[in-house]
Each structure stands twice: as C-alpha cells, then as structure tokens.
C-alpha cells in the first residue's frame, strides 16, 4: 500500500510493526507491506482478489491493530487497491555453492533470496559485492572460487535464518514456539543470564559495537536456544499447537 499523506514517522528509519514493514519508498511516498499468516484464519481475507466493504473494514481494523502509527496514512481507496495486487509468498533460494568454475557467479537474490521479514536482502547483496571486490584483489585468476570460499558459510547461515522465519510465519506450532523462546530469552537478558539475541546483532544495539558475520550470528543463536527451543516446543503443544510440516519453499542448485 502507498501513501503521500503527512506522518510523524521517521523517514530515515525502516519500521517493522508486528509483521508489517513500513518505509519511505520514494520522496514523500510511504509504502506498507503487510504480512499474512496462513496459520491465522482471521487474516485469510487478505488473500482475496475482490475488495468488498467488509474486507476493507477488516483490513482497516487489522492495520490499526498491528501498525497503529502507520494505519492513518492509508485511505479506503488505497485499502481497496491492496486487493488488486499480487501476493509474494516469500520463496527462499538455497545454494550448495556460489560459483561454477570461473565463468558463473551467483550474487544477490540469485544467491540467497530470503523471506522479506528477514530484513537482510539488500544488506546481504551489498556484502556480496564487497566480498567479490576483495576476491578480485586477492586472485584475479581464481576470484570466483575465492569468493565462494569466503562467502558460502555466511550465505547458508542467512538462508537458515530466513527459512526459520518463513516456517514460523505459516506454522502455528512454530510461531508459538518462537514466541515462548523469545520471551524466555528476554527474561534471561533482564536477569543477566542470557546474552544478546540474533535480532540484537542484526538490527539492535549490538550493531554499534561491531559487525558479526551471518555464520557467527547463526551459530551463536543456535547455541543460545539449544535447550530453550525444545522446551518451548513441548509447552506449545500444551496450548493446543500441534506440530505440523513447514510450508516454506527452498530451491537448491
């Protein structure tokens, strides 16, 4: 959805509001990309292609609930246009390697198209270019192989994070487990028995202390949740959230 209406939102910040992504797409033009959880029947109306008064009202209510600061930006005409637009399911690209000899190289979305909520698509693509430039400087005869060696671990770690987020978006058991895991980690941080989370390293205060690679972030996160997540999964079942198969799509070359 798009709007040029005035707002108090900071134009220099990309806002993530309960699953909805809000940012300035062009000068004086705000964009909101809503997320749809297939595990929530009350959001199924967003998949429809026809804008009815009831669906527009439902969308207004959902935006107000999820993104109260951004909801006033969009009038009913723009909410109606939302139902005419295509839906992106968030397929994830996963590669075993990033080069084919010295004649073909994968960068950007071709190497690691990630679930939008991961929030790392552009960042990862820019880092691809940086690593490639380093590889060219190091060895022009085998630069693609050097690039693959330096980059593959981080790309695969990013993809694993993206697949985790996508699965939990569509899977009720996964989303409840994730919620309980995050609550436990938050409590652990307040009690000073848990360190920074992957979100802290990717988007939060830890960024001011230095940048970690995706593989470092992923490995630290897996160690951090190694005992919390299994317990959270068992508790999620007690709330009636049965374990179901993930609905993500991964493409491997």
User: For residue range 99-147, what is the model confidence (pLDDT) as tens digits?
Assistant: 999 999 999 999 998 877 677 888 899 999 999 999 999 999 999 999 9
**pTM, rounded to two decimals:** 0.73
Residue percentage of the chain with pLDDT more than 70: 92
Max mean pLDDT among 39-43, 113-117, 165-169, 231-235 falls in 231-235
Lowest mean per-residue pLDDT among 111-125, 144-158, 219-233, 239-253: 239-253
CA dist., res. 159 & res. 214, Å (int) = 9
* Residue whose pair of structure tokens reads 């909101």 in the numeric block: 32
CA dist., res. 102 & res. 142, Å (int) = 7
* Residue whose pair of structure tokens reads 């071709």 in the numeric block: 110
CA dist., res. 31 & res. 14, Å (int) = 10
Q: Kindly state the average pLDDT of the residues 31-48.
A: 87
Which helix (H) or strand (E) is 78 found in, with range? Answer: helix 76-82
CA dist., res. 105 & res. 122, Å (int) = 18
Do the strands 29-33 and 2-3 form a parallel or antiparallel pair, or are they unpaired? antiparallel
Q: What is the pLDDT of residue 245?
A: 44
Q: What is the pLDDT of residue 253?
A: 44
What SS3 string covers 40-53?
A: CHHHHHHHCCCCCH
Residues 105 and 143 sit within 8 Å (Cβ to Cβ)? no
Query: Terminal CA-to-CA distance of the chain, rounded, Å?
Result: 34
Q: What is the pLDDT of residue 129?
A: 97
* Residue whose pair of structure tokens reads 């609930």 in the numeric block: 65
Answer with the residue of higher pLDDT: 196 or 208. Answer: 196
Q: What is the pLDDT of residue 241?
A: 58
């Amino acid at each position: 959805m798009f709007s040029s209406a005035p707002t108090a939102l900071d134009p220099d910040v990309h806002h993530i509001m309960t699953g909805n992504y809000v940012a300035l797409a062009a000068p004086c033009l705000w964009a909101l990309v809503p997320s749809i959880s297939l595990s929530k029947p009350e959001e199924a109306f967003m998949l429809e292609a026809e804008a009815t008064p009831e669906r527009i009202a439902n969308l207004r209510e959902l935006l107000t609930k999820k993104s109260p600061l951004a909801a006033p930006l969009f009038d009913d005409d723009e909410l109606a246009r939302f139902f005419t637009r295509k839906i992106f399911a968030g397929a994830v690209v996963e590669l075993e390697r990033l080069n084919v000899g010295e004649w073909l190289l994968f960068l950007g979305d071709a190497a690691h198209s990630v679930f939008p909520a991961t929030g790392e698509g552009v960042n990862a693509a820019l880092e691809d270019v940086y690593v490639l430039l380093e590889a060219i400087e190091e060895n022009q005869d085998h630069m693609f192989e050097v690039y693959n060696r330096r980059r593959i671990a981080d790309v695969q770690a990013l993809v694993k994070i993206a697949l985790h987020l996508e699965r939990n978006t569509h899977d009720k058991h996964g989303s409840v487990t994730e919620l309980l895991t995050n609550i436990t980690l938050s409590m652990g941080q307040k009690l000073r028995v848990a360190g920074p989370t992957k979100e802290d390293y990717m988007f939060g205060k830890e960024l001011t202390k230095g940048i970690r690679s995706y593989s470092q972030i992923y490995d630290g996160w897996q160690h951090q949740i190694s005992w919390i997540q299994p317990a959270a999964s068992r508790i999620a079942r007690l709330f009636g959230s049965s374990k179901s198969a993930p609905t993500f799509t991964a493409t491997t070359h």
